[in-house]
Structure 1
Amino acid sequence: MKMRWTSVVWSVVYLLLLLSLLSPFSIVTVFFLILPAAILFTTLNVKSFILHVLPVWLIAYLVHPVYLLLAVYFMIPALIMGRAYKRRVPAIRTLMLGAGTILAELLLLLLVGTAFFHFDLSSYVHDIVKMTMSPLRDVGGSNPLISDMAWSPEEMQMVSDATVQMIPFAMIVSSFMMAVITHALARPIMDSMGFSVPRLKPAREWMLPRSLIWYYLIGVIIEIFASGSKNSFLDMIAANLLPLLHICFMIQAFGFFFFLGHKRKWHPVIPLLFAIPILLFPPMRIIGILDLAFPLRQFMTKSKR
């Protein structure tokens, strides 16, 4: 009975999250939409899952048909992650499956929109930038005190071009964030419901592939060549590859400080305090690079004679 009512509650949460997608809250709620469907799929058998989901989809369709399309869209990664939870797949692989599915859907949606609906992403981004910056330009034109701050059409075009170049980076990061948020909330929730879900390794054990160092060197070389050429493809690779690697090195730096805190028996808060300057001062990612390139952990923890 407890499980039954818990499932009903999650069905209601699922419906509310769906109905929020066309509201101003969607910028936040979209990151949680996979969660209830993944929990329902993991904790119920297929027949019960369908009986819980169909009423939600029917209500969503009656409110507006577009909600049903959105429900189907976000159901796919929920099923992928839910199936991984049922099979007790390692947590990192579950995250990769979820993030990869979301990213594949985004790419497919972009491909369909471009091929069949003649959607021009560059023009759309330019229109958004123009709409956002137009008030600043109008204010600058009417007020001589801030006229130097006004955006010219050339500057707005540069901003829109840079934004288009960073779209792959945004798609990858947002896909991964959705998967991480889903797992971070689903694991303790399902544990409380009696379903054991594999957890990620402790932060002190995080160790990314050392090959990232070589990718970073390749990215730096591409950036050097791109800065002296007009090759938009090289520009796009450099604009997306290096920021992604920077995030990886920051994660590696987090893992290093948690490892150091564990070995030296620091208070658990101290490694968290080290994470703050890493986020606020990006050059500190050099610690993550050193941790990958050299046996930094062994050097910092070896016994002194």
Structure 2
Amino acid sequence: MKGIRYITEGAALLALFVALLLFSLYIPVVGTIFQLALAVPFIVYTVRHGWKKAILFLVVGLLLTLLFGNVLTLPFTFVFGIGGLAIGMLYRQKQKRYTILLGGTVAFSLGLLLLFVGANVIFNVNLMEQINNALDQSINQSIEMMKSLGQDVKESQIDQMRDAFDMFKNLLPLLIVIGGVILAFFSQLIATPILKRTGYEVQAFPPFREFKLPKSILWYYLIALILSFPSFNIEQGTFMYVAIINIVMGLQMLVVLQGISFIFYFSHQKGYAKAIPIVVTILALIIPIILQIVRILGIIDLGFNLRKQLDTKK
């Protein structure tokens, strides 16, 4: 009976995966939403039947991708399959939700990185070169549009655009990790109600106000920030330069999250309306000066444990 169950459940989940894949491939715009759910069949199957059977499930999923899609869609199935297996195993081990999010982020990020490498090695497609061409084309189109509107395009403006696009290319590793976070989060978000309906007990995410980074992050941030100073004269485009700016930007985002979490904590402790920290967060994402204040708040909270001081005053 167990053998029949894992085969029938596998067939049903594979049919769901194929449907999601076809929707994501052939329905514009809305297909992106279906794409976010591609890892869910792998998550559910891994939770219910373990990683050994899940690997076979992934192999069959790759074969079905060839049958219903094309060779170019194989890497996407691989990325979502690996991410789904990792998240499913962490669910099966009853890990905490943030641990599952971290594990899923690592798996998806590695999958996306392999996607870049595999595209170059297997399909002889240099994605970095394609990105460079697309960015150059975007710059040229922007210049032509400005000229058509009668604007005088200065060399300094062109240099600023090129600097911005160069920064985008240098931050590609960080963007891959952010992509991994997004895929892992939405995969969990969609899989959770399905797992609950199958009788699996899923832990809830702790309130965001309880999110707190280890204090060591502050030291890593300060060291990386110091290394990024012009006085160290690290040549642009080198591995060291790319590594440092990605670490600095990544840690800055974490410090901002710490600051936003403190705002939610402070608001909760004071009994303020729930809308207040949400509005402050939105304003921080829009207005740079508020974002800077939130970042400083995150640094102070990390260094001096403001939450503990708030608790002692109660």
Q: Quickly name the TM-score band, shorter chain normalised.
A: 0.7 to 0.9
1:146 aligns with 2:151: yes
Q: Deviations over 1:74-129 (max 9, x none)?
A: 21111111121122122222112111111122223333444566654543222011
Residue 11 of structure 1 deviates from its aligned partner by 5.0
Partner of 1:249: 255
Pair 1:87-2:93 in alignment: yes
Task: Give the counterpart of 1:230 among 226, 230, 235.
Answer: 235
- 1 CA distance for matches of 2:125 and 2:159? 23
User: Aligned match of 1:296 in 279, 284, 306?
Assistant: 306
TM-score, normalising length: structure 1: 0.81
Are the equivalent residues in 1 in contact too, given 2:228–2:244 (CA < 8 A)? yes
Alignment pair present for 1:166 and 2:171: yes
Partner of 1:218: 223
Q: Displacement of 1:31 after TM fit?
A: 3.0
1:8-58 Cα shifts (integer Å, max 9, x gaps): 876554223312444543555433321233124324678997998888666
Q: Which residue of 1 aligns with 2:46?
A: 41
Given that 1:125 and 1:163 are in contact with CA atoms closer than 8 Å, whether structure 2 keeps it comes out as no
Q: Is the 8 A contact 2:139 2:162 kept in 1?
A: no
Q: Is the 8 A contact 1:122 1:161 kept in 2?
A: no
Q: Distance in 2 between matches of 1:69 and 1:120?
A: 15
Q: How far has the Cα of 1:248 moved from its partner?
A: 0.8
Contact 2:171 2:246 in 1 (8 A): yes
Secondary structure at the counterpart of residue 228 of structure 2: helix
TM-score after normalising by structure 2: 0.79
CA distance in 2, matches of 1:268, 1:156: 39
Deviation larger for 249-258 or 170-179: 249-258
Deviations 1:164-198 (A, max 9, x none): 20101101111111111112232233224321122
Aligned residues: 301
**Residue of structure 1 in register with 2:272 after alignment:** 266
Stretch of structure 1 that moved more, 56-65 or 255-264: 56-65
| CA distance, structure 1, for counterparts of residue 266 and residue 158 of structure 2 | 51
CA distance in 2, matches of 1:70, 1:274: 37
Q: How does 1:1-305 map to 2 (within 5 A)?
A: 11-23=14-26, 24-25=28-29, 27-43=32-48, 60-66=65-71, 67-114=73-120, 119-142=125-148, 145-148=150-153, 157-225=162-230, 228-233=233-238, 234-280=240-286, 281-283=290-292, 284-303=294-313
- Deviation, 1:136, is 2.5
Residues 52 and 209 of structure 1: CA distance in aligned 2, closer, same or farther (over 3 Å)? closer
8 Å CA contact 1:260–1:301 kept in 2: the answer is no
CA drift of 1:130 comes to 1.9
SS in 1 for 2:36: helix
Cα-Cα RMSD? 3.6
Residue type of the partner of 1:272? Answer: I
Structure 2: 5+ residue stretches without partners: none
Relative to structure 1, the CA distance from residue 22 to residue 223 in structure 2 (aligned partners, 3 Å threshold; closer, same or farther) is same
Are residues 123 and 157 of structure 1, via their aligned partners in 2, closer, same or farther at CA, if it must alter by over 3 Å? farther
CA distance in 1, matches of 2:104, 2:268: 30
2: CA distance, partners of 1:150 / 1:136: 13
Question: Which range moves more in the overlay, 245-254 or 27-36?
Answer: 27-36
In structure 1, C-alpha distance between the alignment counterparts of 2:100 and 2:243, rounded to whole Å: 27
The CA distance in 2 between the partners of 1:184 and 1:260, in whole Å, is 26
State which drifts further: 194-203 or 49-58.
Answer: 49-58
Report the AA paired with residue 187 of structure 1: T
Structure 1 segments unaligned to the other structure (5+ residues):
none
Mean Cα deviation higher: 109-118 or 94-103: 109-118
Structure 2 distance, partners of 1:153, 1:288, is 35
How many Å separate the matches in 1 of 2:181 and 2:261? 18
